[in-house]
A and B are shown apart, each in its own frame.
Chain A
Amino acid sequence: METNKHFLVGVFNDQDDLLHAVEHIRHKGVKIHEVYTPYPIHTLEHVLGYKRSWMPKAAFMFGALGTTCAITMQSWMLGYDWPMIIGGKSFIAIPDFVPVTFETTVLFAAFGMSFTFFVSQGLGLFKVPRIFDIRATDDKLVMAIDLGKNKLAEADIKAILSESHADEIYRKDFTDAENNPTFMGYLIDLFNNGVTVSGRKLIR
């Protein structure tokens, strides 16, 4: 079975050109695999038709967990496990528990959401990215169209891309190994052959 992946890559210089292009290309019925940009472009996610991020919901859930844990911990420790009379206050003095509860809520929400973000986006220390164009972290806006997932012929998609003012259009093929880069493979390539994931030679 052939597992190689074939992509058409359109490179844009300007974010407004890109927005128009995405609009035009999707209108023509071409499926866009993903757009890679060096900085966040607002409205791009709307134009690509992505659903709103669910990260705030994750933050809320983790925050609520933090609140519950903090209140339970303090009430149990000072109210049941070892009650102590402190300044004549009741054992479970809710107003005094507010600061620690607040801090714990923030701690849980922030860490929970951040880890959700890392896990859901597949970010991690040993993650090796599949890079279409090395300039996507510098100044170019890079659109990738998966040829395997589009019914239109390559030439037609190419024509649509150039209609929508892509500054560069080229074909990018990934072999099976390039498509699923492994950390060890990447390390060997990097230190033995001086090749980075994008296939670029390190300049020595």
Chain B
Amino acid sequence: MVINIFRNAFRSAMITVLTFMSGAAFASDADMPSSINMPQGVTPISHNAWWIHMFAFWVCVGIGVVVFGLMIWSIIFHRKSAGYKAAHFHDNTFFEVTWTIIPFIILIALSIPAAKGLVRIYDASEPDMTVKITGYQWKWQYDYLQDGFSYFSMLAADSAKASRLDSGIDPASVPHYLRDVDHPLVVPVDEKIRLLITSNDVIHSWYVPDFAEKTDAIPGFVNQAWIKVEKPGIYRGGCTELCGRWHGFMPIVVVAESRDDYQKWVAAVKAGGGAYINPQTLQPEQNGSPVEFAPAVLNFNAPTAAAAPVSAPVATAAPAQAANKPAEAATPASSSAWTMQIAMTRGKQVFDQNCAACHMPDGKGNPAMSVPAIAGGPVPNGPLAAHISLVLQGKGIMPAWGKILKDDDLAAVITYERNAFGNHTGDLVKPAQIKAAR
């Protein structure tokens, strides 16, 4: 143990010295990430960030050498013990002006490239494609707006298992511990990809070091960013805005592929009928929530979306929590005939967006958080009234959904829970029943 620590310490120290003597950063290979300096990354932005970082770093080293040098000098030579008698000057306009001007000039030198780089970052116009990224507690949703499909991406099961308190599993034995997901985002290389980043609940932040791409996901607002990945590979990052209990456990994995590999993948997904397609093997996977299909929205390739047709005005009936629901979910409360089929589809949507984070998309629950399973669970297969009141009131870490969701959403999701994941109660819960139970 102790030895091990000192070995690590020593290694770190060596790495430190070496890197900073050479001033070079490690080539950032996603599988062996730079462990000490900012990655140069694989996008124009990340190269720029790295360059500015190193420039600023060396400037500071320079100033440091002067400042600390002078200080050490007087510490050594102007000691009383060395019999040095104190001078008595206490002002010198020339010097005071100089050391006001010079830093100022240095700062200007620093700010020019920074400003240039910033302008570049802000130019998300004329992208080749657009992906909408939505943060949830605690997972990401990737929405391929033009291709009209979307899926959720959450922490890989083995990492989740190992990260459980006293799981007894050595994290080092888990591949890409906490940096692995069930459904990675897949993008083509050499294309300018516009990211539309927003959130469904609290603020998250989408961060991939190799892209120097970090943008906050603000509920109710959609931020723009863009990436242009230069070389194929797997790039890993994570959420960087505190978003609650599992903030440290919502990683990001991006698979960058050549254009035609990417096209193959898209085709496969569209053919896959709801199954997520592994970008490397192009085989369907059953390890998480299914892919959802929706008619492609707006043509985002238009330089400005001014040309874009503006669709139906917002449902004014949406409740105050509307900020916590993306518009597509804000269907008017007074929906038509309440059939099992409508309830189930709607229920699944609500479940994936609100419940799956803890109860897992497969309804198996999450022992790591001591979250009970829906599949075969006592409550969804027990008396209906108890089930409804539990969902309305909440319990322990389970929120009181009554405060958060509308009657029909609740009716739908409870129906879904009682008839999905191998539960077959056959109950069809009506919004009226919820209203009554409130």
Q: Do A and B come from one complex?
A: no
